[in-house]
Amino acid sequence: MKRKTKIIINSILAILMFILLGSVWLYMPKYNEKGIFIQNQPQNATTSLPEHNNATIEQAIINYSIDNNINYEISLAIADCESKMGKYKYNLQGSSAKGIFQFIDSTWENYCDGDVLNDEDNVRCFTKLYKSHPSWWLCS
């Protein structure tokens, strides 16, 4: 009788462990090979900059990236590479590229809304276009 009880208890513990590990796996963020979120669960974020003076462009990039299922670490790295997170909003090599993500004039005119030098407009357009055109931002 004791042996059957141990077997039942061990079986129940194994099932509970399986359920626990499966639940954790289901709620972990998933990424594809390009580092883009695979949409398998809702993610909460705001899509506008907080309305106070402590708002950061980094937080806006994170928020818009999450909303668009893009790995925000990639978005932050691109913004840093392109303009040092907005420190250099004009291209130093003489092209028409401007803003945090360095949009050239023709790209901005054809795909984006607002002002290319407005941080939020620039981030919004980047997150709108990145999944379709990741090769446009091969920063080195």
pLDDT digits (tens, 9 = 90+) for 8-43: 888 888 888 878 776 666 665 665 565 555 554 444
- Give the chain's domain count: 2
Residues 125, 74 share a domain: yes
Same domain, 6 and 36: no
pLDDT per position as a tens digit, 41-77: 444 444 444 443 345 889 989 989 999 999 999 999 9
56 and 6, same structural domain?
A: no
Do 85 and 56 have their domain in common? yes
Q: What pTM value is reported for the model?
A: 0.60
**Do 4 and 43 belong together in one domain?**
no
**R_g of the chain computed on alpha carbons:** 22
- Are 101 and 90 in contact by the 8 Å Cβ rule? The answer is no
Same structural domain for residues 90 and 117?
Answer: yes
Q: 102 and 60, same structural domain?
A: yes
Within this chain, do residues 64 and 35 fall inside the same structural domain, yes or no? Answer: yes
Encode pLDDT of 80-112 as tens digits.
Answer: 999 999 888 998 788 899 999 999 999 999 999
Integer angstrom CA distances of residue 121 from 15, 24, 87, 106 = 50, 36, 16, 16
Pair (36, 19) in one structural domain: no
Which domain does 22 fall in, by range? Answer: 1-30
Query: How many other CB atoms are found less than 10 A from the CB of residue 129?
Result: 18
